[in-house]
Structure 1
Amino acid sequence: MTFEPEKLGQSRSDLAAALRDERKRAGKTQTWLAKRCNMSQTKISNIESGKITPTIVDVELILQTLNAHGSLASNILALARSANTEWQDHWNSRRRGLDKKQNELAGLESASTEFRYFLLSMVTGLLATPDYVRASIADVPGDQSKTIAKKLERQSVLYDSSKSFTFILTEQAVRWPLLPPLAMAMQLDRLASVSRIPNVRLGIIPLAGHISERPLNTFTVYDRRLATVETGTGAMIFRDHRDVTAYLNDFERYRQHALFGDDCRELLSEWAEAFTRQRK
């Protein structure tokens, strides 16, 4: 299936109408369908009215129950796939204001309890010093003081003991010289400090030895329900369990190559010292 970014996340109403029409074509009631799909009638009603987006598994079950096959079923499944995928481009985010994006992320963090971050090329805002945060959005025109303040404010979620965080960073992400040497050394000290928070695991994949994995993107998985994948021009948001599971599996493979605890902090100390020597 080929995605058109502008249509992603915008097909919930089309999906709702298609499922409703297919049920009516089969001559069945919502109550009949709900009973045979082991769903509530309220859920079927909300799906058909577009109030909730069904998972692809839900849609497959509904189509199977209604004995829908062929191109019609394929088209409805394609709608379900698009409805469970969203595209957020950077230009639109910047027009709306990056502080609004920070509010969205804070909402996700509030509603989730288990976080997995794979950081391929940069340090994420939750781990960043104020200087690093400022440098990461330096190319965005206008006053970014609100965005910087909200990014730093979000860091308090790391100290919520009801939540757990695992960060995996590549050596490139850690050592990319976004800041002058001394400021980079301070950023690495910040990573070492965060790694000591009890509910935080921070690991680094060093550029040494043999690694058969081929990571392409930075991504975050929230619980087991949603994955966000960063690209050069925006972010894809996946809600279908198969997509989320795929990123969970990727994360587990990368985790096996990462160094945690004292081994991680030893690397950070070594690299921070190297940055400090550059200044001398």
Structure 2
Amino acid sequence: MSTDFQQARVSLGARLRELRAGTTGRDLATRLGWTQSKVSKLETGRQTATADDLAAWARATGHPEATAELQARLQGLESRSRSWRRQLAAGHRPVQDALTAEYERSTLLRAWQSSVVVGMLQTADYARCVFEAYADLHQSVRDIEDAVRARVRRQEILYRPGRVFDIVMWEAALHAGVCPPEVLAGQLDRLSGLVGMDTVRLGIVPLGARVRIPPGPGFWLYDDRLAIVEDWHAELWLDDVESVAVYERVWDRLHEAAVYGPAAHRLIARARTGL
């Protein structure tokens, strides 16, 4: 969890405590039908409130007019950390549509991925395996086919002039058995066909390459305005200058270790032969 996110959650908790003034935590919990521990966790920033929690809190403390303010604070907080539990409440398709809007707004898109092939380069069969794995992990709505169609449709942007996709992957992503061998074979064939494409610059960091920074979680940089970082429990959407600059430096260091063109093609071919 990011420090900024936690500070914002603590600040929201402090505001909730102000609204509760004159009422004990036990009494408020009774009014709301909650446990006292939930009241405590919300006030100390150890649990993230939902929009419904905040509306109920405002009413129960006699401050219904504070509902909009509290929910605006929550929206600002979640603009940075978007839990998969909440994002996937309606399935994977809405998440894909939200990302497509960011791709449409951007001209230079840089990515790092260490564990799987990046979504913009995935075949439909490979994407299906990835979505199924995450739907199982998060026990989310299984709109797999809708999500696959949305991801494949978004890949049309790869062929539009005026955009550059500068993508770096760790060689391990070429070997990860997240799908059956025949599906991975098709995925590797697709990557081979993308090497040398005028809108896509595909770099592979060899397993034995000297890197200036440990390979970490996958992320995308949308121009110089937004970084989206993937974690198991959430995505971080970072649009402040300092955070974006950190991920730009990370990307630069990993890009320095990557090979391109014929050398990248050889790594892909070696993974394909290994199947």
Question: TM-score, normalization: structure 2?
Answer: 0.69
Per-residue deviation, residues 124-167 of structure 1 (Å, max 9, x unmatched):
22111111100001142534211111011001110011100111
Letter in 2 for 1:192: S
Q: 1: CA distance between counterparts of 2:214 and 2:205? A: 12
Distance verdict in 2 for CA 1:164–1:181, change over 3 Å:
same
Within the alignment, does 1:98 sit opposite 2:113 as a pair?
A: no
CA offset at residue 212 of structure 1? 3.9
Measured after TM superposition, the shift of residue 84 of structure 1 is: 9.8
1:169 and 1:203 in contact (8 A); partners too:
yes
Equivalent-residue separation in structure 2 for 1:144 and 1:189 (angstroms)? 23
Cα distance, 1:114–1:87 mapped onto 2, change above 3 Å: same
2:114 alignment partner in structure 1 = 120
Per the alignment, residue 124 of structure 2 pairs with 130
Deviations 1:235-279 (A, max 9, x none): 00110111111111111111110010111011111110111xxxx
Q: Once the 2 structures are TM-superposed, how far is the Cα of residue 98 of structure 1 from its aligned partner?
A: 1.3
Superposed displacement of residue 184, structure 1: 1.1
State the AA in 2 paired with 1:106: T
Deviation at 1:210, TM superposition (A): 3.1
Does structure 1 residue 224 correspond to structure 2 residue 224?
Answer: yes
Seen in structure 2, the aligned counterparts of structure 1 residues 5 and 195 have a Cα distance that, compared at 3 Å, is: farther
Using a 3 Å threshold, how does the CA distance of structure 1 residues 6 and 172 change in structure 2: closer, same or farther? farther
* Consecutive unaligned residues in structure 2, runs of 5 or more: 16-72, 136-140
Q: TM-score, normalised by structure 1?
A: 0.68
Q: 1:6 offset after TM fit, Å?
A: 10
1:243 aligns with 2:237: no
- Going from structure 1 to structure 2, the CA distance change for 1:89 and 1:179 (only over 3 Å counts) comes to same
For 2:132, what is the secondary structure of its paired residue? coil
Change beyond 3 A, Cα 1:129–1:5: farther
Q: Which residue of 1 aligns with 2:165?
A: 165
Aligned length in residues? 206
Distance 1:254 1:88 in 2: 26
State the identity %.
26
Match of 2:187 in 1: 187
Quote the residue 1:270 is aligned against: 270
Q: Return the letter of the residue paired with 2:169.
A: L
Q: How far apart in 1 are the matches of 2:232 and 2:7?
A: 16
Structure 1 window deviating more from structure 2 (118-127 vs 208-217): it is: 208-217
SS of 1:213's equivalent in the other structure is coil
Question: d(CA) in 2 for partners of 1:2 and 1:250?
Answer: 19
Quote the RMSD (CA, aligned, Å): 2.4
* Counterpart residue identity of residue 224, structure 2: R
SS of the equivalent of 2:80 reads strand
Q: Distance in 1 between matches of 2:213 and 2:200?
A: 24
